[in-house]
Amino acid sequence: MTLGRSCIRLCVIAVAMQASSAFAEVFQFPALHANQPADPEQALLTNYNQVAVVYGSADIGAFSPAIEAFQQNNPQVGIEYHQLQTLEMYDMTIKERISGAANADLIISSSMDLQMKLANDGYAIAHQSAQTDALPNWARWRNEAFAVTQEPAVIAYNREFFRENELEPPRTREAFLELLRANDDLLSEKVTTYDIERSGVGFLFLARDERFFPGIWDFIRQLGQSKVKLYSNTSPMLEKIADGQVVLGYNLLGSYAETFSHRTPNLGVILPDDFIVVYSRIAIIPRGARNPNLGARFLDYMLSIEGQTVLQDAGNFNPVRADVPQSPFSSLIFDRYGERVRSFPVGPGLLVYLDQAKRQRFIRRWQDALLNRR
C-alpha cells in the first residue's frame, strides 16, 4: 500500500465503547497550511487548523487520492480517516450517539442497508447543496443519505492457470456453475467468494443474485462441493487469485479488482454477461458530528465533478453523476451493459435486507447449500 506525501499511519487502535470494542486503522492527513490567520474571525470562517474525522470502509490505498485532492482545494483542513469494518462503524455510530460522545463528521460505508437504517432511524442530519442537487433521484434520500460511488460485482480469475489448463473463464453464472461441475477435481479448493455472515456487501450481492438468478442455490451447493474459500474482505481474495493459491473468484468488488489488475496483469476481471449487480457506498453526516460543516464540505467535494473524477480515476469508483466523463471501465458497465445492470436505489427498500428473521433464514439457506443439506 502506497500513500501520499501527507499521510501519517498512526496504528491499529481499539476504541472501546460499553461492552464491545471496534478496531480501526487510523490515518492522519495533516492540513497543508496550518498557520492560522491573525484575524480570529477569519480563522473561524476558514476552519483553519480544524480536522474532519471520517469513518470509512474503503481501503486507504484506494481512497487517499480523494482525501489529498480535497486538501489541495482546502489546504487548511486536516483529515483523520478511520478505516473500519461496516458493522463496527454502525455500532460505533449508535453507541457514540447514545453516550453523547462526539461522532465522526462523515461516515461512508459499503453496507448500504446499515447506512440506510442509520438515516431512517434519525442518526443523520440533512444537507442540501448544489452538489447534492446534481445527483440523480435514486442516489439520495431526504438529503440525508447519498450514494457516492457505483461499483459492480465481478468475476476474477488467474490468467496463467486458465491458459495452462486450456479453460475458458466463465462469463455468466450458468457458465461458472458448469465449469465447476466439469472440473471438480481441478478446481477443488481453488474458488473464493465472500463470507456473507461477515461481509455486508457480500450479503447484498448474493441477495440480489437470488432475485435475478433462478439457479443461485444450485450454484451455492456447487461452491460447497468445490470447497470454496470464504473471506470477509476483497483484497486477500484478489491477492490469492493473482498468486495462484486460488484461481477463481465470484462476486468480488469490481472497483478493487480492476485497480488490482492494472498492477497485476495475471489477474483477469470479467463483468458477467447475464447481469451485473451494482451497489453504492452511502455517505451520511451523523447527528452529533464534531464538525458537521467540515463533513458537508468533504461530502460536497466527493460529489463534485472533480471529486467524482478523482474517485473514478484513482480507485475505479464509478461516478454517480451523469455529467462526469466516464472511464473505459465505467463506460463498459453503463453504456455497453446498461440494460443488464441491477442497482440498489438509495431508500427504505434497502431495509428489507435487515429484517432479522428474513436475514437469518437467508443465511441458514446459504449454510445448508454450502454443506449440501437440502
Distance CA 159, CA 178 (A): 19
Per-residue pLDDT, averaged over 237-260, amounts to: 96
Q: What is the mean pLDDT of residues 341-347?
A: 93
Whether the CB-CB separation of 116 and 279 falls below 8 Å is answered with no
pLDDT digit string, tens, across residues 4-31: 555 555 544 433 333 334 567 999 999 9
Query: What distance in Å separates the CA atoms of residue 253 and residue 173, rounded to the nearest whole number?
Result: 16
For 283-311, how does the pLDDT look when each residue is reduced to its tens digit (9 = 90+)? 999 999 999 999 999 999 999 999 999 99
What's the pLDDT tens digit per position in 34-86? 655 545 454 444 444 589 999 999 999 999 999 999 999 999 999 999 999 88
CB-based contact 105:295 (threshold 8 Å): yes
Which residues lie below 8 Å from residue 143, measured CB to CB, with a gap of 6+?
Answer: 126, 127, 128, 132
pLDDT of residue 8: 59
Average the pLDDT over 239-252 and give the result. 97
More confident residue, 18 or 117: 117
pLDDT in tens, 352-368: 888 889 999 999 999 99
Residues 6 or more apart whose CB falls under 8 angstroms from that of 305 comprise 321, 323, 324
pLDDT above 70 for 347: yes
Task: Spell out the residues 6+ positions from residue 253 whose beta carbon is closer than 8 angstroms to its own.
Answer: 110, 151, 153, 154, 201, 234
